[in-house]
């Protein structure tokens, strides 16, 4: 299929759109654009309007690339994004280019907005005009091709991660469940920490009564029972790694592809084109459904869409979507939240997508966001920025911006907490991880009102919304940090190199755990 070159005079006029078929498409820009909408590959990857000329510094540490962004383009030297992109023109209109099939990428280079399919070709949506309108049209076309969510109710979730982290056990979860009382949470979701290892999805020694017992306890409170798992990731310590090396995705030299690390060891990925993997995935999801869980948070999914050698030679996102569909079928009518997932391949398969980086109970980290120039690591600001820039997905799928914080914390101002609460209203997805026994009576009432509210939300501009008539502006949180100066660039470079060493990561991780454990020791029963 040929590359199509479209000159400015053949570009759509303002207000026009068209669908063209091509392996790659080059749209000539008659003027330097004002900004570029870069769309991150997976849930946590940065999505924002950025500099259209100069690419951002390579995100560090580079050893994080395969778990935070699309590693294929992590060092691409021009502004770029996954499947879609847009440039803002002098007159305030935008030129939009969006793929209507998987395995596509968009960039600004050589005075052009370029898009290409990694293999073969496919359809593109091209449009020029008003921004909100074009994103809406694109979402509509994606819905026709990939499907959209049909579940009406937006769940209100208590999730164990952002207070207890890996330190969950039967006792502290029971205490949290009791503490919720009659607050209208629809889901009680157990996060990472219950399993033997990534790949061995059986309860560990902290869950001696088994997972059926805890699911039953949750359901006895009238709530859905939620469970986290990372079905496409495989730890070096797991039995799959030992017994089924042929199930793994391999790199071109034939070694198991490293899809990240678990601080102490490499993490690998399952090859979703392998028939035995498909069978294993189906049985895994059925087993978890059999335990009684009916809300599944499937995480680190991007592992299954990494580049590499597969049993069947098909494009990586096509292979990945096949794995997702098998899990969807096996899950029946359970609610599926996909996390750490490439966005387009997940459409029509799940009920909700995490659309931003992890939040944290602090606003931002200068260390990560500025020195390492990495906006995918946990912070309230990183979660908020990418989620706000992904709100156009809302007609297609429930958008999860991650959890809100209510408990007292010195690291978030009331205004910062409020801004995130406003985002949960706009996204219409409400979750928290706060420990209920730490809430004051006044906070419990605030949470009840928040869970019960269904305000009328209208979009006014790119970052402004009206929530029951009150205007909210996310704009001030949208700019990226300045580029590191010469000295900070050198510091960041050294830190980045350290971040690529296992021994340094281990010390780093140990220090974080130590700090968290000290802070949380009083919280954990």
Which residues contact residue 371 at a Cβ distance below 8 angstroms, ignoring those fewer than 6 apart?
484, 488, 491, 492, 495
Residue 187 beta carbon to ligand 9PG: minimum distance, rounded to whole angstroms: 14
Residues 72-105 as b or e (16 or more Cβ within 10 Å = b)? bebeeeebbbbbbbbbbbeeebbbbbbbbbbbbb
Residue 80 or residue 376: which is nearer to ligand 9PG going by CB?
Answer: 376
Beta carbons of 8 and 29 less than 8 angstroms apart: yes
Q: Helices 211-219 and 275-291: crossing angle, nearest 10°?
A: 50
Residue 273 beta carbon to ligand 9PG: minimum distance, rounded to whole angstroms: 25
Residue from 70, 131, 294, 358 in contact with ligand 9PG (CB under 6 A): 358
Residue 67 or residue 321: which is nearer to ligand 9PG going by CB?
Answer: 67
Residue 114 or residue 195: which is nearer to ligand 9PG going by CB?
Answer: 195
Beta carbons of 235 and 194 less than 8 angstroms apart: no
Considering only residues 152-171, where is the footprint of ligand 9PG by CB under 6 A? 161
Residue 228 beta carbon to ligand 9PG: minimum distance, rounded to whole angstroms: 5
Residues 525, 520: Cα–Cα separation, whole Å: 10
Residue 51 beta carbon to ligand 9PG: minimum distance, rounded to whole angstroms: 23
Residue 70 or residue 192: which is nearer to ligand 9PG going by CB?
Answer: 192
Neighbours of 204 (CB within 10 A): 13
Neighbours of 421 (CB within 10 A): 18
Torsion of CA 309, 302, 328, 321, to 10 degrees: -50
Residue 88 or residue 358: which is nearer to ligand 9PG going by CB?
Answer: 358
Residues 399, 426: Cα–Cα separation, whole Å: 10
Residue 27 or residue 225: which is nearer to ligand 9PG going by CB?
Answer: 225
Residue 180 beta carbon to ligand 9PG: minimum distance, rounded to whole angstroms: 19
Residue 85 or residue 499: which is nearer to ligand 9PG going by CB?
Answer: 499
Residue 138 beta carbon to ligand 9PG: minimum distance, rounded to whole angstroms: 26
The one-character DSSP state at 480 is: P
Considering only residues 303-342, where is the footprint of ligand 9PG by CB under 6 A? 339-340
Residue count, binding to ligand 9PG (CB under 6 A): 13
Residue 68 or residue 82: which is nearer to ligand 9PG going by CB?
Answer: 68
Residue 193 beta carbon to ligand 9PG: minimum distance, rounded to whole angstroms: 8
Residues 170, 175: Cα–Cα separation, whole Å: 9
End-to-end alpha-carbon separation of the chain, Å? 62
Residue 476 beta carbon to ligand 9PG: minimum distance, rounded to whole angstroms: 25
Residue 138 or residue 335: which is nearer to ligand 9PG going by CB?
Answer: 335
Q: Which stretch, 27-35, 64-72, 323-331, 441-449, contacts ligand 9PG (CB under 6 A)?
A: 64-72
Residue 22 beta carbon to ligand 9PG: minimum distance, rounded to whole angstroms: 34
Distances (CA, A) of 177 to 91, 172, 320, 376: 54, 9, 35, 30
**3-state secondary structure at position 425:** helix
Distances (CA, A) of 18 to 3, 189, 300, 516: 16, 43, 35, 52
Residue 403 or residue 426: which is nearer to ligand 9PG going by CB?
Answer: 403
Q: Check residue 68 for interaction with ligand 9PG (CB under 6 A).
A: yes
Q: Is 474 left (phi over 0), alpha (psi -120 to 50) or beta?
A: alpha
Residue 87 or residue 359: which is nearer to ligand 9PG going by CB?
Answer: 359
Binding mask 171-200 for ligand 9PG (x = CB under 6 A): --------------------xx--------
Q: Check residue 299 for interaction with ligand 9PG (CB under 6 A).
A: yes
Which residues contact residue 331 at a Cβ distance below 8 angstroms, ignoring those fewer than 6 apart?
285, 289, 296
Q: Check residue 228 for interaction with ligand 9PG (CB under 6 A).
A: yes
Neighbours of 169 (CB within 10 A): 18
Beta carbons of 480 and 468 less than 8 angstroms apart: no
Binding mask 22-61 for ligand 9PG (x = CB under 6 A): ----------------------x-----------------
Nearest residue to ligand 9PG on Cβ basis: 192
Considering only residues 364-403, where is the footprint of ligand 9PG by CB under 6 A? 376
Binding site residues, ligand 9PG, CB under 6 A: 44, 64, 67-68, 161, 191-192, 228, 299, 339-340, 358, 376
């Amino acid at each position: 299929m040929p590359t199509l070159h479209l000159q400015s005079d053949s570009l759509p006029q303002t207000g026009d759109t068209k669908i063209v078929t091509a392996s790659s498409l080059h749209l000539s820009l008659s003027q330097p654009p004002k900004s570029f909408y870069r769309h991150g590959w997976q849930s946590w990857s940065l999505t924002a309007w950025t500099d259209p000329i100069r690419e951002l510094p390579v995100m560090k540490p580079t050893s994080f690339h395969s778990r935070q962004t699309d590693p294929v383009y992590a060092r691409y030297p021009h502004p770029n994004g996954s499947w879609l992109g847009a440039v803002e023109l002098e007159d305030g209109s935008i030129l939009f280019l969006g793929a209507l099939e998987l395995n596509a990428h968009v960039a600004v280079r050589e005075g052009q907005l370029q898009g290409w399919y990694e293999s073969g070709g496919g359809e593109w949506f091209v449009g020029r005009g008003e921004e909100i309108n074009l994103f809406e049209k694109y979402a509509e076309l994606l819905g026709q091709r990939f499907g959209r969510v049909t579940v009406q109710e937006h769940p209100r979730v208590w999730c164990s991660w952002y207070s207890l982290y890996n330190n969950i056990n039967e006792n502290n979860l029971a205490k949290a469940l009791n503490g919720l009382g009659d607050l209208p949470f629809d889901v009680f979701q157990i996060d990472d920490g219950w399993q033997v290892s990534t790949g061995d999805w059986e309860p560990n020694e902290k869950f001696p009564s088994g997972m059926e017992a805890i699911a039953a306890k949750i359901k006895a409170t009238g709530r859905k029972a939620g469970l986290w798992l990372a079905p496409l990731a495989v730890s070096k310590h797991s039995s799959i790694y030992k017994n089924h090396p042929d199930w793994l995705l391999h790199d071109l030299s034939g070694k198991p592809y490293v899809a990240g690390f678990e601080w102490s060891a490499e993490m690998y990925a399952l090859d979703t084109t392998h028939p035995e993997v498909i069978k294993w995935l189906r049985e895994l999801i059925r087993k978890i459904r059999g335990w009684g869980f009916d809300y599944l948070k499937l995480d680190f999914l991007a592992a299954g869409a990494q580049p590499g050698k597969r049993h069947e030679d098909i494009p990586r996102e096509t292979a990945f979507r096949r794995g997702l569909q098998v899990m969807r079928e096996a899950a029946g009518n359970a609610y599926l939240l996909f996390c750490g997932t490439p966005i387009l391949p997940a459409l029509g398969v799940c009920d909700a997508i995490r659309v931003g980086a992890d939040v944290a109970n602090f606003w931002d980290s200068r260390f990560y966001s500025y020195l390492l120039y990495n906006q995918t690591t946990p912070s309230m600001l990183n979660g908020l920025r990418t989620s706000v820039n992904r709100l156009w997905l809302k007609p297609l799928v429930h958008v999860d911006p991650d959890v809100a914080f209510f408990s007292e914390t010195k690291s978030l101002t009331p205004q910062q907490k409020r801004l995130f609460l406003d985002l949960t209203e706009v996204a219409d997805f409400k979750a928290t991880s706060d420990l209920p026994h730490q809430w004051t009576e006044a906070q419990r009432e605030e949470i009840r009102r928040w869970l019960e509210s269904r305000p009328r939300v209208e979009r006014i501009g790119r970052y402004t919304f009206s929530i029951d008539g009150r205007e909210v502006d996310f704009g001030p949180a949208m700019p990226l940090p300045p580029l590191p100066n010469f000295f900070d660039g050198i510091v960041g470079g050294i830190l980045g190199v350290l971040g690529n060493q296992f021994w340094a990561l281990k010390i780093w991780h140990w220090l974080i755990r130590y700090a968290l454990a000290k802070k949380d020791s009083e919280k954990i029963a």
